[in-house]
Amino acid sequence: MSLLGAVLTVAGCTGGPAPPPSVPSAPQALALSSTAFTDGGAIPAEFTCAGGRRRPALAWSGDARGAKAFAVVVDDPDAPGGDFYHWVVVDLPAGTAGVGNDVPAGALQIRNSAGTAGWTPPCPPSGTHHYRFTAYALSAPTGLGDEATLSQALDAIRQAAIVQGRLTGLVAH
């Protein structure tokens, strides 16, 4: 990979391996919110590559009966190469109602489109990008291990998703 390709991959919305499957979908029954931004609002710079690079806190509520675990996926559908996955965490314990900078014990952060297990902050190369934060209630833990791929994680979420909630934030370059 060229130095430019490596920089673009780390920057957040381009490069990387072949695109994984599309974002899983389930009935909307969870309300997802953040203290950092409102649905359709701007994500503050402190949560982007231009600022503190922190992950915004998320909270969800609603009918998640039967949930044995939760998952969160943050993606950018406006990335030049298609969906760019900024964060995927699976197997958040049943009863979890949100996540902040710390991930609960037992949860597994999957390698994202940048190739890192953890949060890659939004950093659009140009224009305004929509960052979709989606929480899923799962019928069972995924059972994935540390070496799970992004595609495996998205497939596992797709198979186990009972309901979901989505919050979309914007970042303009």
Q: At residue 68, does pLDDT exceed 80?
A: yes
pLDDT, residue 4, reads: 34
Q: Which of 110, 109, 88, 82 is nearest to 19 (CA)?
A: 82
pLDDT in tens, 25-63: 777 789 999 999 999 999 999 999 998 889 999 999 999
Q: Which of 56, 37, 38 is nearest to 47 (CA)?
A: 56
Domains and CATH numbers, the chain: 3-172 (3.90.280.10)
Q: What percent of the chain has pLDDT over 90?
A: 77
Residue 165 and residue 134 in contact, taking contact as beta carbons nearer than 8 Å: yes
| Weakest mean pLDDT among 8-12, 76-80, 110-114, 163-167 | 8-12
| More confidently predicted of 114 and 13 | 114
Residue 81 and residue 19 in contact, taking contact as beta carbons nearer than 8 Å: yes
pLDDT in tens, 123-135: 999 999 999 999 9
pLDDT, residue 74, reads: 98
Sole residue written with tokens 């995927």: 88
Residue 126 and residue 171 in contact, taking contact as beta carbons nearer than 8 Å: no
Q: How confident is the model at residue 19 (pLDDT cuts 50, 70, 90)?
A: low
Pull the structure tokens for residue 102.
């710390």
Q: Name, in order, each residue with C-beta under 8 angstroms of 128's C-beta and a sequence gap of 6 or more.
A: 78, 170, 171, 172, 173
Q: How confident is the model at residue 139 (pLDDT cuts 50, 70, 90)?
A: very high
pLDDT, residue 10, reads: 40
Q: How confident is the model at residue 96 (pLDDT cuts 50, 70, 90)?
A: very high
Quick one: the chain helix, strand, coil %, rounded to 5?
15, 35, 55
Q: At residue 15, does pLDDT exceed 70?
A: no
Sole residue written with tokens 């915004």: 56
Neighbours of 62 (CB within 10 A): 16
Q: At residue 157, does pLDDT exceed 90?
A: yes
